């Protein structure tokens, strides 16, 4: 912490100290074998040491707490607390004392003073105390500006300031990846790395979805009626360790059928991370709104709603396809079914499906069979918009396992 001393002698003295939790006192145990020259001397000294744990004197951690010996590190998301004291070192009564504390960051200046009213008078050897708190939300250089103004017995108004500069560091490195499923589901993978020098207890890592989505956390393994975290009972993150959290987002029912709306949604939500360090010092970070690349469905989206997992060779089976108009115009659709080397369609090709308004959908039942065993792809569907004479082809829309009922088959 850098302090700029004032050149003029003042009647008041200003002291500023950061308030932090203490740390456990550590010993450096020195031991030897009984047959060595010191004998039991080292052991007796450790047993007489009041800072050691009785019965476990050789442990480095003791029962006493140590007050901070330096300013320490401040991390983004933690609460900065400071004790401010103004003491009257003179033999005079000082009047109209006003103490003001501001925090200057790279983007703003914040007033942290609990009260902006002046103290009427301050007698000799008396002091004015104040404690300020601020949740740090920016990284980089911060300057705590403490200003004191007062009036002497002679009516002279005096003023001085002190500056305390400190750096706010980044505690976590957060990386996100999005995966768009064939349906409207979105999977979010969040990688969180502890880039501090001390372990963290991860109290909460949750995803707050945007208004159009519901979220399901996939970091819990359910056994019976109880769920257990995939990271175990003690959620500690050691320095430079990384964890991966997974979430599944599904559109709310009122938005699920609005293909055009869901298609354009890029804002997914934000991560809320809460952790504790040392003796319970709490930190919290919220990311900005996470955004994904909107999936490019084109004008028409086709997906398979129902298909059997296993079918028999050369036996027809039913599937149900869903067609969604993702464009902003009405379409008049025509369906063509083209046979492939392995897949053969049943029914009339070239039939009219009718008009489909923007954002609307229809379910299309179809019948098909395969002439080849194994895992086969359903392909060969073609849609034509007769209004604009545009054709859309769909291959590999689903897969099915084809087996021969008279043989032992595996896909």
pLDDT at 220: 81
Q: Tokens 């708190």 belong to which residue?
A: 133
Q: How confident is the model at residue 37 (pLDDT cuts 50, 70, 90)?
A: confident
Does the pLDDT of residue 3 top 60, yes or no? no
Does the pLDDT of residue 41 top 70, yes or no? yes
For residues 69 and 62, what is the distance between their CA atoms, to the nearest angstrom? Answer: 17
For residues 236 and 198, what is the distance between their CA atoms, to the nearest angstrom? Answer: 11
Strand partners, 229: 220
The enclosing H or E element of 249 equals: strand 242-251
For residues 113 and 119, what is the distance between their CA atoms, to the nearest angstrom? Answer: 13
Tens of pLDDT, residue by residue over 212-240, are 889 999 888 777 667 777 887 778 899 99
Provide CATH code, domain 12-20+69-169: 2.60.40.10
pLDDT at 27: 74
Percent of the chain at pLDDT above 70? 89
pLDDT at 2: 46
Terminal Cα distance for the chain, rounded: 68
Does the pLDDT of residue 347 top 80, yes or no? yes
Provide CATH code, domain 300-403: 2.60.40.10
Tens of pLDDT, residue by residue over 145-196, are 999 999 988 888 999 999 999 999 999 999 999 887 766 788 999 999 999 9
Q: Which of 70-84, 97-111, 307-321, 362-376 has the lowest mean pLDDT?
A: 70-84
As to burial, measured by CB atoms within 10 angstroms (0-12 exposed, 13-18 middle, 19+ buried), residue 93 is: middle
Does the pLDDT of residue 330 top 80, yes or no? yes
For residues 116 and 59, what is the distance between their CA atoms, to the nearest angstrom? Answer: 50
Tens of pLDDT, residue by residue over 260-287, are 556 556 788 999 999 998 778 889 999 9
Taking the domains of the chain in order of start, what are their residue ranges? 12-20+69-169, 172-293, 300-403
pLDDT at 76: 93
Q: What class does CATH assign to 172-293?
A: mainly beta
Fold match between domain 12-20+69-169 and domain 300-403: yes
More reliable by pLDDT, 203 or 4: 203
For residues 3 and 17, what is the distance between their CA atoms, to the nearest angstrom? Answer: 12
pTM over 0.75: no
As to burial, measured by CB atoms within 10 angstroms (0-12 exposed, 13-18 middle, 19+ buried), residue 94 is: buried
């Amino acid at each position: 912490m850098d302090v700029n001393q004032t050149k003029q002698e003042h009647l008041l003295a200003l002291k500023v100290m950061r308030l932090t939790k203490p740390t456990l006192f550590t010993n450096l145990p020195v031991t030897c074998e009984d047959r060595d020259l010191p004998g039991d001397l080292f052991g007796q000294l450790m047993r007489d040491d009041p800072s050691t744990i009785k019965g476990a004197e050789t442990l480095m951690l003791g029962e006493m707490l140590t007050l901070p010996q330096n300013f320490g590190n401040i991390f983004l998301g933690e609460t900065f607390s400071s004790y401010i004291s103004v003491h009257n070192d003179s033999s005079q009564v000082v009047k109209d004392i006003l103490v003001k504390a501001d925090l200057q960051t790279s983007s703003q200046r914040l007033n942290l003073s609990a009260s902006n009213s002046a103290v009427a008078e301050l007698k000799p050897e008396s002091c004015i105390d104040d404690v300020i708190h601020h949740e740090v939300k920016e990284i980089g250089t911060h300057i705590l500006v403490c200003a004191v103004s007062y009036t002497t017995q002679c009516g002279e108004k005096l003023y001085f300031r002190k500056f305390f500069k400190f750096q706010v560091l980044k505690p976590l490195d957060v990386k996100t990846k999005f995966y768009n499923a064939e349906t409207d589901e979105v999977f979010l993978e969040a990688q969180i790395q502890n880039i501090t020098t001390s372990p963290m207890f991860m109290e909460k890592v949750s995803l707050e979805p945007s208004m159009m989505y519901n979220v399901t956390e996939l970091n819990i393994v359910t056994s019976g009626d109880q769920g257990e975290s995939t990271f175990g009972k003690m959620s500690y993150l050691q320095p430079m360790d990384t964890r991966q959290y997974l979430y599944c987002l599904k559109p709310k029912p009122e938005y699920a059928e609005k293909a055009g709306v869901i298609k354009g949604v890029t804002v997914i939500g934000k991560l809320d991370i809460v952790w504790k360090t040392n003796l319970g010092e709490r930190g919290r970070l919220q990311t900005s709104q996470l955004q994904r690349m909107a999936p490019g469905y084109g004008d028409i989206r086709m997906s398979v709603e129902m298909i059997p997992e296993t079918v028999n060779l050369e036996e027809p089976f039913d599937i149900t396809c869903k067609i969604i108009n993702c464009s902003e115009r009405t379409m008049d659709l025509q369906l063509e079914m083209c046979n492939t080397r392995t897949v053969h369609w049943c029914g009339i090709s070239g039939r009219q499906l009718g008009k489909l308004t923007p954002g609307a959908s229809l379910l299309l039942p179809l019948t098909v069979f395969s002439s080849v065993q194994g895992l086969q792809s359903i392909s060969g569907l073609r849609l034509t918009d007769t209004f604009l004479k545009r054709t859309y082809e769909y291959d590999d829309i689903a897969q099915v396992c084809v087996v021969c009922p008279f043989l032992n088959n595996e896909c």
